[in-house]
Chain A
Amino acid sequence: MGELSTPQPGRYRQSSINEQKLLLWVAIGTIVMLFGAFTSAYVVRRSAGNWYEFKLPDIFFASTLVILASSVSLHWAYSSFKRGMEQRYKIGLIITMVLGLVFVVMQYLGWIALDQSGATFTINPSSSFVYVISGVHAAHVLGGIGALVMATLHAFTLPFRPTKRRRNRFELVVQYWHFVDALWVYLYIFFLFQS
């Protein structure tokens, strides 16, 4: 036996990325595949004909702007957190949470508008797809709102200390929220190009 190198007492990491973030990235990969499957099914089904054409309600455009704004406010909260500005960080979180809820309500109004325009849930797969895809997306947004609620509770109940641990935990919320935002932008553009 030759020279022995120093054994590792604790745990050893191959890269500086935090495991939880990596876990979340892989989980995001699974959500991407879920929506990839939905939108591919949409394309395949559409090419088979017997497709009811309708116009997407304008409220979806407004909801897109709202969720984009929520990402901006969350980013503002995050950079305030890093710079130690407690007040802005708390305000940013609340704004993001409210915008997230407004987004979900607007999606609901969008479904009502769709229904009233004649594109009901069951009339044709073309409209069913829009309800199901935007509905499953809204469910993912609700999960994100749950995470935001936790982050806000932490912000208001725990003493403000931008430690590495707190930052990592907050970054998970930020990572997921930007993802559901980008996912909706993709879905909205997808629907626009298809109709």
Chain B
Amino acid sequence: MAHIADPTAVEQLEQEVTEKLGFNDHFHDHHHGDKYSANFLTHYIFSTDHKMIARQFLITGIFWAFVGAAMSIVFRLQLGFPEADMAWLKPILGKWIQVNSSGIGKLDPEFYYALVTMHGTILVFFVLTAGLSGTFSNLLIPLQVGARDMASPLLNAFSYWFFFLAGVVMFLSLFLSTGPFSGGWTAYPPLSALPQASEGSGTGMTMWIVGMAFFIVSSLLGGINYITTILNLRTKGMNLWRMPMTIWSFFVTAILGVLSFPVLLSGVLLLMFDRSMGTSFYLSEIVVGGEVLDRVGGSPILFQHLFWFLGHPEVYIIILPAMGMVSEVLSVNARKPIFGYRAMVYSIMAIGFLSFIVWAHHMFMSGVNPLISNFFVIFTLIIAVPSAVKVFNWITTIYGSNFRFNTPSLFAVGFVSMFISGGLTGIFLGNSAIDIQMHDTYFVVAHFHIVMGVAAFFGMFAGVYHWFPKMFGRFMNETLGKIHFWGTLVGAYAIFWPMHYTGMAGVPRRYYDGGASFEAFKHFDDLNKFITIGAIVVFFLQIVFIINFFYSIFAGRKLKVKNPWGANTLEWTTPIEAGHGNWPGNIPTVQRWAYDYGKNGEDFLPQYVPLKEGEHDHGGH
């Protein structure tokens, strides 16, 4: 069993731990753990236990990922096969498929934009923010720092329920007769500020704003909890330099969230006043459909500043948790300490800091002063430095190791691959001079999908496969997992690699027909079809994942030992079916950093194993 640590060593260690440290698998009578599993509602639905909330976030995230991906398939069909008959989609999409007299169904152009808008909103916020950070920050922060639960379990449950509510509002907006919001996930005014600007700008946009306001509340409640838990509830001996990379990345992610989401909230509040109270924060002298509006003195650029002040940190809110989990998964499976632990931590901090002073690189095309652009170009390019440090350290962590190729570690390696590919094109786009050429082409679509879309998904998959035994007490199927990995890796490159070429040739993004109406881009028709076929294949591979996930919850191979991967971190010291409070007896005390793999001839030394006489502690001050 190559993908599992030496089972006898693991069992022996667990026995020693049970005897000497007193955190065994037996819940004591006095413990309040069982109260929480009193009935179905309190245990599974209105739970305040961080492990249950993590599972709620994950399953809700999977639902949204499915919805968002299905939308992308519909608009990819439109882009790859603009002439094809879509009448077969009529049972699902109803009036948004217009069937003409000869029975040929066409996707409504207005609805195409709604699909693209909702795809962006759902994937960026609901899946890769709440689904990723919400799941793993909730699951791992208390378990890995050695806490009974979050600082405020109640606010934590509210965090999930605000997310749920945001989802309900956003989902209902899909069924409006005027359709959901269709002005792009960035919700730029005037399309977002004037209800009469387009079909989706009316009720669709109102529901988008309400949904996003709930979502922001959810993120803030989660974030303040994560920060407080990490700062104050670490177990004895868990000093900052002994924290696993996962905790560092969740910590910086939470800080980015609490600093940037309120700024989006302010932008959205001003937008609400513009929409319904007649103010003109973002609206200037404007004519809609021949009608001159009485708005004066506003600036749409102001919204872009407020939006991207969140929007740029947001991409790091998405990618940093993935980076942390990948560091952990790579180190565990390489049986080597993460290379350059402190450099990794400082890189995360540097990326987090820089993410706040580069937002205007999204606005080079908005008429920003070129002098100011220079400032943003320089800081954007500087982000390449900490990013390169991280990539170098991941590669050196694997280098020369006896690497265990299992599904989580494959996805972690895939993450590194995607992050390099997508990161390199970031260096192009960070230059305002090149960005002005590339900005509205498929080059940008390729860049951000690879670097934050696919890469973050790979990090998330690595996390799901790696911590699935912790969440559900069973393993996911390895064969299906490997099919999922190889198919998705090849498929994702097949989708996004060609977009670099079409983008460099100038094919514009956001076009209903994918640029097919331009004579100059006719020769890309086949490439466009290829991309669409790739997207469909990848979509079905994700269904393989979903089947594997739900099948394994009920019928996967059972977990027999507490620490199946031979990992050092504390989450693997809890019972397989951990109750509320995580450790039935005592909380373990931390004696060393999280990366003592292959030290002094030992395969691994978990964090609770005390230091030997004269042994150097990497986590020491």
Binding site for B on A (CB under 8 A): 1-15, 17, 19-20, 22-23, 26-27, 29-31, 33-38, 41, 44-45, 48, 50-52, 121-122, 124-125, 128-129, 132, 136
Contacts and interface: CB of A to CB of B under 8 A. Distances in A.
Contact of A37 (B20, B148, B297, B309): B309
A15 to B, nearest CB: 6
B258 A125 contact: no
- Chain B's interface size range is 35 or more
Nearest to A133: B266
Chain B CB within 10 Å, residue with most, of A13, A51, A125: A125
24 contacts: A2-B611, A2-B613, A5-B591, A7-B587, A9-B585, A12-B235, A13-B232, A14-B234, A20-B151, A23-B225, A23-B228, A26-B228, A27-B224, A30-B259, A33-B260, A41-B281, A41-B306, A44-B302, A45-B299, A50-B296, A125-B279, A125-B297, A128-B280, A132-B270
Interface string B252-265: 00000011111101
Contacts of A136: 269
B258 to A, nearest CB: 5
Interface in B12-31: 16, 20-23
B267 A20 contact: no
A178 B513 CA distance: 57
Interface in B289-315: 296-299, 302, 305-306, 309
A30 B220 contact: yes
Interface string B572-599: 0000000000000111110100000000
Given A19-B232, A23-B224, A128 B281 contact: yes
Given A5-B610, A30-B262, A50-B297, A11 B234 contact: no
B197 interface: no
B618 interface: no
B261 to A, nearest CB: 7
A122 B225 contact: no
Contacts of A5: 236-237, 589, 591, 610
B370 interface: no
Give the top 9 A-B pairs by smallest Cβ distance, nearest first.
A7-B586, A37-B266, A34-B262, A37-B263, A33-B262, A19-B151, A26-B224, A128-B279, A8-B587
Interface string B429-458: 000000000000000000000000000000
Contacts of B267: 37, 41
Interface in B107-157: 146-148, 151-152, 155
B551 interface: no
Nearest to A9: B586
A33 B151 contact: no
Contact of A7 (B22, B231, B234, B299): B22
Contacts of B21: 4, 7
Given A7-B588, A12-B235, A19-B232, A37 B227 contact: no
B522 interface: no
Contacts of A12: 146-147, 233-236, 587
B620 interface: no
Contacts of A132: 269-270, 273, 279
Contact of A33 (B235, B238, B258): B258
Interface of B: 16, 20-23, 146-148, 151-152, 155, 220, 223-225, 227-229, 231-238, 258-263, 265-267, 269-270, 273, 277-281, 296-299, 302, 305-306, 309, 585-589, 591, 609-613
Contacts of A11: 147-148, 233, 587
Contact of B298 (A4, A22, A31, A125): A125
Given A3-B610, A125-B279, A33 B234 contact: no
B21 to A, nearest CB: 5
B610 A121 contact: no
B233 A44 contact: no
B233 A13 contact: yes
Contacts of A45: 281, 299, 302
A189 B612 CA distance: 60
B152 A23 contact: yes
Contact of B232 (A2, A17, A50, A52): A17
Contacts of B277: 121-122
Given A8-B236, A22-B231, A38 B266 contact: yes
A128 B263 CA distance: 18
A48 B258 contact: no
A19 B263 contact: no
Given A15-B232, A22-B228, A128-B279, A4 B610 contact: yes
Contacts of A26: 223-224, 227-228, 258
A14 B299 CA distance: 47
Chain B CB within 10 Å, residue with most, of A12, A41, A132: A12
Nearest to B13: A1
A51 B341 CA distance: 52
Contacts of B23: 7
Chain B CB within 10 Å, residue with most, of A9, A17, A45: A45
A118 to B, nearest CB: 15
A193 B370 CA distance: 30
A37 B279 CA distance: 18
A20 B147 CA distance: 15
A115 to B, nearest CB: 13
Contacts of A9: 585-587
A131 to B, nearest CB: 8
Contacts of B224: 23, 26-27, 30
Contacts of A41: 266-267, 270, 281, 302, 305-306
Contacts of A34: 262-263, 265-266
A38 B309 CA distance: 12
A37 B610 contact: no
Given A12-B234, A23-B224, A45-B302, 5 more contacts: A7-B585, A8-B588, A22-B232, A125-B279, A125-B281
Contact of A1 (B151, B262, B302, B609): B609
